[in-house]
Structure 1
Amino acid sequence: MQIGKQIKKFRAENGLSQERLAERVYVSRQTISNWENDKNYPDVKSLLLLSYIFDVSLDILIKGDIEEMKNKINDGEVKKFEQDSTIFTILLLSCIVLPIPLVSFLGKLGLWIYVLIGIVALYYGMRVEKYKKNFDIQTYKEIVAFSEGKGLSMAEKNQEIGKRKYQHFMLAIGSGVVTLIIAVIMAKLLGK
């Protein structure tokens, strides 16, 4: 959102005319009009006064309303993310469950089907990761918030960023354990 639209919005919310706001910021009414129409921008002193008058942080005044920024994620993106995540989950579970039945019942054809499922799973996995990277979502809480079309507050976001290091470590350990369990089960089944 542009600073001019923010000034106009907060001026209206505070019931101030351009003339009254100009008096409080020590500029002309024309200057306020120019700011609101993005013909020029307020200096730092004026920004500080506007922030004080509107009782908002400089961040909100300059960058825009946080709620509006959260809503920039449109529903279509959320639906695509959820659809791709569901497909990836189904394919990943298929990769875990299907190798032995496919190979046992279909032989080499089953192996090729399994490889094809694996390739498609990798494709959807990369799509899900692309969404996560584009919208800076990595933790479960961030994914849930994104799926609901919301964002996290700065404090929540920082808390989630702090968790990421530990989650990467736990993910690596968990993946290793799951791989070991699957390898042992497959070795026992193939050994029969």
Structure 2
Amino acid sequence: MNLSKQIKQFRKRDNMSQEQLAEKIYVSRQTISNWENERSYPDIHNLLMMSVLFNVSLDDLVKGDVKIMKEEIQKSTFFRWTYLMMALMVIVPISVVLGLYFFGNYGLVIPLVLFILLMFSALKVEKIKKVQNLKTYRQIVDFLEGKPVSKVKPNKKDKLLKIGLVLTSALIGFVFMYLVMSIVGV
């Protein structure tokens, strides 16, 4: 992150040791060291104190880190919606069988609601992919690992892989539903 470099740069510019900076903002020298070595991140109170002490705007102090934080938030959101989507892909077929078994035709309301939630989560994942311009699985992996996203364009292999994954997940869903139906006896 840039903040660690910025703190070190402004501290050296003002001819301050880590200990002197720590005394002025009421933290330990170890805390300053942790900030500069990216082991921890200062809270907003300490950021404001340093911006006043170094006589720079808060924006100049955290330059670049805002973009990194936004990407981290998008990554966690991407994970959350992806996990929900994957869980629902397993739960929906099971809920169809169990809903029919226990509630008859009215039992289809539960899987319908779950399916709508599944589609909503898939749309959220696709929206993040569009915002980040992620088109291939390699780009998604790079994004999730925090690496620069490669500029690879999707090719026939990627399209075939996507089709294969969709068909495989559909087949697994039907097999799963068949197994549950045979166990329940519907």
Q: TM-score, normalised by structure 2?
A: 0.51
User: Aligned partners of 2:122, 2:170: CA distance in 1, in Å?
Assistant: 18
Q: Which runs of 5+ in 1 are unaligned?
A: 1-66
Q: Does the C-alpha gap of structure 1 residues 71 and 185 become closer, same or farther in structure 2, counting only changes over 3 Å?
A: closer
Aligned residues: 119
Q: Which residue of 2 is the match for residue 101 of structure 1?
A: 98
Q: Which has the larger radius of gyration?
A: 1
User: Aligned partners of 2:104, 2:83: CA distance in 1, in Å?
Assistant: 28
SS of the equivalent of 1:98 reads: helix
User: Aligned partners of 2:105, 2:112: CA distance in 1, in Å?
Assistant: 11
Shift of 1:140: 2.7
Q: Which residue of 2 is the match for residue 116 of structure 1?
A: 113
Q: Does the C-alpha gap of structure 1 residues 144 and 94 become closer, same or farther in structure 2, counting only changes over 3 Å?
A: same
Root-mean-square deviation (CA, aligned residues, Å) is 3.2
Q: Which runs of 5+ in 2 are unaligned?
A: 1-63
Q: Does the C-alpha gap of structure 1 residues 118 and 169 become closer, same or farther in structure 2, counting only changes over 3 Å?
A: same
Q: Is the 8 A contact 1:71 1:149 kept in 2?
A: no
Among candidates 136, 139, 143, match of residue 139 of structure 1: 136
Q: Is the 8 A contact 1:71 1:150 kept in 2?
A: no
Q: Does the C-alpha gap of structure 1 residues 102 and 124 become closer, same or farther in structure 2, counting only changes over 3 Å?
A: same
Q: Between the two proteins, what is the percent identity of the paired residues?
A: 24
User: Aligned partners of 2:141, 2:117: CA distance in 1, in Å?
Assistant: 24
User: Aligned partners of 2:69, 2:124: CA distance in 1, in Å?
Assistant: 20
Shift of 1:105: 1.9
Among candidates 158, 163, 166, match of residue 172 of structure 1: 163
Aligned-partner residue type, residue 85 of structure 2: F
Q: Is the 8 A contact 1:73 1:149 kept in 2?
A: no
User: Aligned partners of 2:162, 2:99: CA distance in 1, in Å?
Assistant: 28
Q: TM-score, normalised by structure 1?
A: 0.50
